[in-house]
């Protein structure tokens, strides 16, 4: 099952498309992405941003179908590959510090620290284009500073119950699941108040609180000095950072017109925009007995299928970190059960 998801203005998982194919390969991904482009009216030079793992077939497909798209690699996937050679929290901390920093000078400082202590790791990371994994080199086109594709993993996990079902039942399972999720979002939208989405409002309140603690100096009507503003948060997320909001506060104090502060936040985070994203709905499908028989003269035959050795896998392959967390969780559960048995005795 190939899936494409995104984030909406409330930072929720937005399910875009899915398809069932014979296997994950370059041909399947190209076919899927071409249909995605047709469905969303995306031109060949669309400036979308794709976040994925470094699967070879997928990378080639995106480069072929959307050559101008911004491509990011999931940092979790990069770290899983990195930890095969360099294990431990120290190496993990170095990597994520370089990935999370939002400005080039601080990224260079983080990489220089890695270079001084572990040249091999520095060279390994240098082979991966920085525009693919570090916020400091993201264009800001996506209005998101996301480093992981956990949302896609989350969606795939919910589809486990459909994987062992016949094809039509599988598709109907996914359709019903997506319908239910869309309905839940619409219920939340009905109770939401304010110009921004609930999650954006929460983030905006935190930014304003932090901004109230800052002091800026006006240079002229459009320029402010803030020795600490190297964050590029506004560029990456399209939501003003605390330094920009501090400047807006100063403009208000100097009787300059700035309008409602929420209007400085990008439309992607507005409540109205969030609602528009869910205007369409997945239409219900009648029961099979009501389907109109096809009059097409050709008889469809089953595709050639290569049966894999062993029992078909239903659950996705878990990363090493997930396995350790699962083992620790089972261990804690066993200890709790042992304590309960002692008290029962």
pLDDT at 321: 56
pLDDT at 174: 93
Of 107, 129, 158, the residue that ends a domain is: 158
Q: Which domain holds residue 243?
A: 198-269
Q: Is the CB of residue 181 less than 8 Å from the CB of residue 5?
A: no
Of 131, 158, 185, the residue that ends a domain is: 158
What distance in Å separates the CA atoms of residue 63 and residue 65, rounded to the nearest whole number? 6
- For residues 203-236, one letter each, b for 16 or more C-beta atoms within 10 angstroms of the residue's C-beta and e for the rest, the string is bbeebbeebeebebeeeeeeebebeebebbbbbb
Asked if 79 and 203 sit in the same domain, the reply is: no
| pLDDT confidence tier of residue 8, bands split at 50, 70 and 90 | very high
Asked if 146 and 263 sit in the same domain, the reply is: no
Query: Is the pLDDT at 317 greater than 90, yes or no?
Result: no
Q: Which of 18-22, 38-42, 208-212, 311-315 has the lowest mean pLDDT?
A: 311-315
Q: Is residue 283 part of a domain?
A: no
Asked if 48 and 152 sit in the same domain, the reply is: yes
What mean pLDDT comes out for the span 104-126?
Answer: 95
Stronger pLDDT, 228 or 198, i.e. the higher one = 198
User: What digits encode the pLDDT tens for the residues 283-292?
Assistant: 888 888 898 8
pLDDT at 221: 58
Asked if 319 and 265 sit in the same domain, the reply is: no
Q: Which of 37-41, 190-194, 218-222 has the lowest mean pLDDT?
A: 218-222
What mean pLDDT comes out for the span 25-45?
Answer: 92
| pLDDT confidence tier of residue 230, bands split at 50, 70 and 90 | confident
Asked if 16 and 117 sit in the same domain, the reply is: yes
User: What digits encode the pLDDT tens for the residues 133-152?
Assistant: 999 999 988 999 999 988 88
Q: Is residue 181 part of a domain?
A: no
Q: Is residue 301 part of a domain?
A: no
Residue 242 phi/psi, 5-degree rounding, is -65, -30
Query: Crossing angle, helix 56-65 and helix 26-39, to 10 degrees?
Result: 40
Structure tokens at 168: 């039509």
Query: Is the pLDDT at 225 greater than 60, yes or no?
Result: no
Query: Is the pLDDT at 159 greater than 80, yes or no?
Result: yes
Q: Which of 29-43, 80-94, 127-141, 213-227 has the lowest mean pLDDT?
A: 213-227
What mean pLDDT comes out for the span 219-227?
Answer: 58
Q: Is residue 281 part of a domain?
A: no
Q: Is the CB of residue 177 less than 8 Å from the CB of residue 13?
A: no
Stronger pLDDT, 225 or 197, i.e. the higher one = 197
* Inter-CA distances, 162 with 135, 157, 189, 284, 327, Å: 36, 10, 28, 18, 26
| pLDDT confidence tier of residue 281, bands split at 50, 70 and 90 | confident
User: What digits encode the pLDDT tens for the residues 322-341?
Assistant: 566 666 666 776 666 665 66
Asked if 14 and 102 sit in the same domain, the reply is: yes
User: What digits encode the pLDDT tens for the residues 58-112?
Assistant: 999 999 999 999 999 999 999 999 999 999 999 999 999 999 999 999 999 999 9
What is the number of domains present in the chain? 3
Asked if 149 and 223 sit in the same domain, the reply is: no
pLDDT at 337: 66
Asked if 154 and 19 sit in the same domain, the reply is: yes
Query: What's the half-sphere exposure (Cβ side, CA atoms, 13 Å) at 15?
Result: 24
Q: Is residue 32 part of a domain?
A: yes
Of 251, 269, 287, the residue that ends a domain is: 269
Q: What is the pTM of this model?
A: 0.80
Query: Is the pLDDT at 188 greater than 60, yes or no?
Result: yes
Asked if 144 and 232 sit in the same domain, the reply is: no
pLDDT at 301: 80
Structure tokens at 102: 């939002």
Asked if 125 and 12 sit in the same domain, the reply is: yes
Q: Is the CB of residue 101 less than 8 Å from the CB of residue 134?
A: yes
Q: Is residue 294 part of a domain?
A: no
Q: Is residue 163 part of a domain?
A: no
Q: Is the CB of residue 229 less than 8 Å from the CB of residue 243?
A: yes
pLDDT at 314: 64
- For residues 28-58, one letter each, b for 16 or more C-beta atoms within 10 angstroms of the residue's C-beta and e for the rest, the string is bbbbbbbebbeeeebeeeeebbbbbbeeeeb
pLDDT at 318: 62
Q: Is residue 180 part of a domain?
A: no
Query: Is the pLDDT at 226 greater than 60, yes or no?
Result: no
Q: Which of 92-106, 171-185, 207-221 has the lowest mean pLDDT?
A: 207-221
Asked if 154 and 31 sit in the same domain, the reply is: yes
User: What digits encode the pLDDT tens for the residues 198-208?
Assistant: 999 999 999 99
Q: Is 232 left (phi over 0), alpha (psi -120 to 50) or beta?
A: left
Query: Is the pLDDT at 223 greater than 90, yes or no?
Result: no
Chain mean pLDDT for the chain? 87
pLDDT at 5: 93
Asked if 141 and 9 sit in the same domain, the reply is: yes
pLDDT at 222: 59
């Amino acid at each position: 099952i190939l899936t494409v998801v995104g984030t909406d203005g409330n930072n929720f998982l937005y399910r875009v498309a899915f398809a069932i194919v014979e296997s994950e390969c370059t041909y399947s991904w190209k076919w899927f992405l071409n249909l995605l482009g047709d469905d969303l009216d995306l031109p060949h030079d669309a400036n979308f941003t794709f976040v994925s793992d470094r699967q070879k077939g997928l990378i080639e497909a995106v480069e072929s179908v959307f050559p101008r798209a911004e491509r990011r690699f999931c940092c979790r996937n990069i770290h899983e590959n990195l930890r095969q050679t360099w294990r431990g929290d120290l190496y993990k901390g170095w990597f994520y510090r370089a990935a999370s920093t939002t400005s080039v000078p601080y990224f260079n400082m983080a990489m220089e620290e890695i270079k001084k202590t572990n040249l091999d790791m520095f060279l390994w990371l240098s082979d991966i284009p920085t525009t693919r994994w570090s916020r400091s080199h993201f264009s800001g086109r996506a209005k998101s500073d996301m480093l992981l594709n956990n949302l896609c993993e989350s969606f795939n996990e919910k589809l486990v119950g459909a994987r062992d079902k016949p094809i039509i039942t599988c598709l109907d399972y996914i359709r019903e699941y997506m319908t239910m999720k869309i309905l839940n979002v619409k219920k939340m939208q009905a109770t939401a108040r304010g110009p921004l989405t609930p999650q954006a409002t929460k983030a905006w309140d935190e930014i304003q609180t932090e901004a109230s603690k800052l002091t800026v100096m006006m240079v002229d009507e459009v320029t402010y000095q803030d020795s600490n503003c190297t964050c590029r948060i506004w560029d990456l997320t399209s939501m003003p950072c605390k330094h920009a909001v501090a400047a807006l506060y100063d403009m208000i104090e100097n009787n300059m017109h700035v309008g409602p502060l929420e209007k400085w936040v990008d439309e992607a985070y507005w409540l109205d925009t969030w609602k528009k994203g869910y205007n369409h709905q997945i239409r219900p499908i009648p029961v099979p007995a009501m389907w109109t028989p096809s009059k097409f003269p050709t008889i469809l035959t089953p595709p050639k299928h290569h049966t894999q050795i062993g029992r078909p896998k239903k659950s996705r392959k878990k990363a090493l970190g997930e396995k350790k967390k699962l083992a620790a969780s089972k261990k804690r559960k066993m200890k709790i059960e042992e304590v309960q048995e002692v008290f029962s005795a």
